[in-house]
């Protein structure tokens, strides 16, 4: 009896999970189709880029600055053990461009804008605003989801670029201003060590993370359960799921991109 | 005008509707009444085509909503519907003006000038002119309901669906919503379907009443016929007694 119920529960769990996966992929597919089909509503896209992207600029620049600064301190410390502290510049730049820029930008945008997107859509769901849209023959996937997904994909790489530039500046200030490295060495070593492929792979990552951000935060909001409880749960799940997904996808993407670009 | 044929709907193991059949005559207003949780809102969503029945069919003006497989096909049928939601469901990121203009812009694709004069006319006839630049959270629930009505009626739908006209409202605001429904009915002449658990208040907007219980329609008729019904469940519900065939969980 006990074994049977366990198997039953396990089966139900598998079915439920598979179904949810399927639904979320259909959701993503429909959002993408909605992007390319008329009517286009450019003002919705601009307003989402403003809310998700432009309004995140300051906080992204701030954490970029300090991430670059701390990388310079740690990089100089480690490299000086090998008498190689002249390479502090590339250490900062490559860590930022290849890895920390995309990942930290994504985590920050997910925490700031992802929770907001999920909560907003969740409240629209429980107050029947999404039902109202459908009753007025306006497709909520097109009206609400597509602009947010698009804004995530556009804003994430741009924010990541800002993060990198400000981060390298932060590293420069610490390495040159405080730790006494030569300004010329710092910059010229970056120039010779950073290749275009590093920048490409960073931007590809940021774009994929932008998609994950938009997909998860919209889907969690759209499928939000009843009541304030439902919104609460959806928001938490949205932030956790998107953050974990970013880190997992990051590993695989890094492996693949490194292979592809090294050949 | 609306015909619901033998509808079944369940959520997981919970059976909500079990063979509901209902015909709503054109030009009349029908109330569907019943205790909370019997599936009245579900019935409304099935009629709007935002939920799909497990079995049975919904026709709106002769068109089969259930057989419409794509959202686009359902949207074509939805054009004849206007809906006033329970808490109005106004878009809270838009002003009251933009809420009223919503369908005209997003669905009908009317030019700004044409939409503008329509919105102003509608606002004037529902005494909403002073509030047009406010956001929904800045006005009372009674006014939000009026805005919801304006938003629903701006495209002159053939059918108006109303979910719980006065739940959550104080008696004065509630009465105002009933007066509003009657006034709008006279002016626009739609077919109405009102969902409510408030008896006998809802009778004042109803030409016909259907009572739903345990997933099926158990009584149907004019308000007077329902009041005179000998059915113990109907009598219990009308008189608000706790003893009788309706079990309170
Ligand atoms: N989307 C849904 N998923 C699961 N259960 C639902 C859903 N919508 C409604 N229900 C259930 O259906 C029953 C009827 O709900 P409803 O139609 O809202 O009742 P009411 O008659 O008060 O309007 C309730 O028990 C509710 O929990
Ligand atoms: Mg209800």
Percent of chain A's residues with pLDDT above 70: 99
Closest alpha carbon within chain B to A130: B89
- Residue B200: asked if its preceding bond is cis (omega within 30°), the reply is yes
Q: How many CB atoms lie under 10 A from the CB of residue B79?
A: 17
**Element (DSSP H or E) covering residue B161:** strand B159-163
Residues near A21 by beta carbon (within 8 Å), at least 6 away in sequence: none
Q: Which residue of A has its CA nearest to B51?
A: A131
DSSP code of residue B94: S
Contacts of A135 in chain B (CB under 8 A): 48, 50, 78, 81, 83, 161
Q: What is the pLDDT of residues B130-161, one digit of tens each?
A: 999 999 999 998 899 999 999 999 999 999 99
B122–chain A nearest CA distance, Å: 17
Q: Which domains does chain B have, with CATH numbers?
A: 1-80+195-249 (3.40.50.300)
Structure tokens at B11: 């959520």
CB B201 within 8 A of CB B174: yes
Q: Does the pLDDT of residue B249 top 70, yes or no?
A: no
Let me know: does A225 contact A234? Beta carbons within 8 Å: yes
pLDDT band at A261 (very low <50, low <70, confident <90, very high): confident
Q: Looking at ligand 1, which atom is closest to the CA of residue B42?
A: 17
Residue recorded with tokens 């626009």? B188
Q: What is the residue with the minimal CA distance to atom 16 of ligand 1?
A: B39
A59-95 per-position pLDDT tens digit: 999 999 999 999 999 999 999 999 888 899 999 999 9
Closest among B63, B91, B140 to A136, alpha carbons compared: B91
A226 CB near a chain B CB, below 8 Å? no
Instruction: Say if CB B196 and CB B31 are below 8 A apart.
Output: yes
H helices of A37-182, in order, are 42-48, 57-80, 88-94, 101-109, 115-126, 129-135, 140, 146-172
Which pLDDT belongs to residue A1? 57
The residue written with tokens 């002769």 in the block is: B62
Is any atom of ligand 1 closer than 6 Å to the C-beta of B40? yes
Tokens of B216: 């099926």
Instruction: Tell which wins on pLDDT, A4 or A207.
Output: A207
Contact A134 B85 (CB under 8 A): no
DSSP A144: I
Residue whose structure tokens are 């009308």: B238
> What contacts B100, CB < 8 A, 6 or more positions away?
B119, B122, B123, B128, B132, B147, B150, B151, B154
Q: Is the CB of B205 under 6 A from ligand 1?
A: no
Q: In what order do the strands lie in the sheet with B81-84?
A: B81-84, B159-163, B191-196, B29-33, B208-213, B216-221
Residue A42 in contact with partner chain B when CB distance is under 8 A: no
Q: Which of A41, A132, A136 sits opposite B107 (nearest CB)?
A: A136
DSSP string, B218-245: EEEE-HHHHHT---HHHHHHHHT-SSSS
Q: Which two tokens stand for residue B200?
A: 């006998």
Distance CA B97, CA B106 (A): 14
Residue B107 is predicted with a pLDDT of 83
Lowest mean pLDDT among B19-23, B46-50, B98-102, B240-244: B240-244
C-beta of B50 in contact with ligand 1 (< 6 A): no
User: b/e per residue, A181-205, with b = 16+ CB within 10 A?
Assistant: beeebbeebbeeebeeebeebbbbb
B55-76 per-position pLDDT tens digit: 999 999 889 999 998 888 999 9
Q: Which of A41, A129, A135 is the closest to B91 by Cβ?
A: A129
Q: Is B73 on the interface with A (CB under 8 A)?
A: no
CA–centroid distance, residue A231 to ligand 1 (Å): 18
Residues in chain B with CB shorter than 8 Å from the CB of A134 are 48, 50, 78
The whole-model pTM stands at 0.89
Torsion of CA A199, A203, A204, A209, to 10 degrees: 140
CB-CB contact of B148 with B84 (8 Å): yes
Strand B159-163 and strand B81-84: pairing? Answer: parallel
Cβ(B16) – ligand 1 distance below 6 Å: yes
Distance B38 CA to ligand 2 centre (A): 8
Total Cβ atoms within 10 A of residue A36: 8
Q: Are B129 and B97 in contact (CB under 8 A)?
A: no
Distance from residue B164's CA to the centre of ligand 2 (Å): 7
Backbone angles phi, psi at B80, to 5 degrees: -90, 5
Consecutive H or E run containing B58: strand B55-60
How far, in Å, CA of A224 to CA of A122, rounded? 5
Is B85 in Cβ contact with A128 (below 8 Å)? Answer: yes
Report chain A's terminal Cα–Cα distance, integer Å: 57
When pLDDT is averaged across residues A35-52 and rounded to a whole number, the result is: 90
Q: Give tens-digit pLDDT for B88-138.
A: 999 999 999 999 999 998 888 788 888 899 999 999 989 999 999 999 999
Q: Which residues contact B188 (CB under 8 A, 6 or more apart)?
A: B153, B156, B160
**Pick from A131, A135, A138: which is nearest to B106 by CB?**
A138
Q: CB-based contacts of B9: which residues, under 8 Å, 6+ apart?
A: B16, B17, B39, B42, B46, B51, B53, B54
- pLDDT score of A260: 85
CA of A52 to the centre of ligand 2 (A): 35
Distance separating alpha carbons of residues B93 and B70, to the nearest angstrom: 29
> What ipTM does this complex have?
0.90
- Inter-residue contact B86 to A127 (CB < 8 Å): no
Closest C-alpha to ligand 1, atom 26: B37
């Amino acid at each position: 009896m006990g074994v049977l119920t366990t198997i039953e529960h396990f089966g139900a769990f598998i079915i439920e999970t598979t179904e949810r996966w399927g639904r979320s992929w259909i959701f993503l597919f429909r959002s993408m189709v909605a992007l390319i089909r008329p009517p286009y509503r450019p003002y919705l896209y601009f307003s989402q880029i403003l809310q998700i992207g432009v309004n995140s600029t300051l906080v992204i620049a701030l954490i970029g600055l300090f991430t670059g600064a701390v990388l310079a301190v740690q990089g100089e410390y480690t490299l000086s053990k090998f008498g190689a502290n002249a390479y502090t510049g590339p250490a900062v730049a490559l860590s930022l461009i290849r890895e920390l820029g995309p990942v930290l930008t994504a985590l920050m945008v997910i925490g700031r804008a992802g929770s907001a997107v999920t909560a907003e859509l969740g409240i629209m769901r429980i107050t029947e605003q999404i039902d109202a849209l459908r009753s007025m023959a306006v497709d909520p996937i097109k009206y609400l989801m597509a602009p947010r997904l698009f804004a995530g994909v556009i804003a994430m790489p741009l924010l990541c670029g800002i993060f990198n530039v400000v981060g390298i500046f932060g590293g420069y200030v610490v390495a040159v201003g405080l730790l006494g490295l030569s300004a010329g060495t710092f910059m010229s070593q970056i120039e010779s060590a950073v290749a275009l492929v590093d920048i490409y792979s960073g931007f590809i990552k940021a774009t994929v993370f932008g998609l994950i951000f938009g997909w998860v935060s919209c889907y969690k909001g759209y499928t939000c359960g009843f009541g304030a409880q439902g919104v609460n749960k959806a928001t938490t799940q949205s932030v956790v799921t998107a953050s974990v997904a970013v880190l997992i996808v990051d590993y695989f993407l890094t492996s693949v991109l490194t292979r592809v670009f090294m050949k | 005008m609306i015909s619901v044929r033998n509808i079944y709907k369940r959520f997981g193991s919970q059976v909500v509707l079990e063979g509901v059949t209902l015909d709503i005559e054109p030009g009349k207003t029908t109330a569907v009444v019943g205790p909370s949780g019997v599936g009245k809102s579900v019935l409304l969503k099935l009629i709007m085509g935002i939920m799909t029945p497990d079995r049975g069919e919904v026709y709106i003006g002769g068109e089969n909503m259930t057989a419409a497989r794509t959202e686009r096909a359902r949207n074509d049928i939805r054009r004849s519907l206007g809906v006033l939601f329970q808490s109005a469901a106004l878009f809270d990121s838009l002003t009251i003006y933009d809420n009223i203009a919503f369908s005209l812009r997003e669905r009908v694709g009317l030019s700004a000038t044409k939409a503008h004069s329509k919105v102003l006319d509608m606002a004037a006839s529902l005494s909403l002119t002073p509030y047009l630049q406010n956001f929904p959270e800045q006005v009372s629930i009674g006014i939000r309901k009026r805005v919801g009505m304006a938003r629903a009626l701006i495209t002159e739908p053939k059918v108006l669906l109303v979910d719980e006209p006065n739940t959550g409202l104080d008696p004065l605001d509630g009465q105002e919503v009933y007066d509003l429904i009657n006034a709008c009915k006279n002016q626009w002449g739609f077919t109405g379907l009102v969902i409510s658990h408030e008896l006998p208040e809802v009778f004042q907007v109803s030409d016909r009443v259907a009572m739903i219980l345990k997933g099926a329609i158990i009584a149907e008729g004019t308000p007077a016929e329902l009041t005179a019904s000998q059915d113990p469940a109907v009598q219990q519900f009308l008189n608000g007694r706790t003893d009788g065939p309706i079990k309170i969980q």
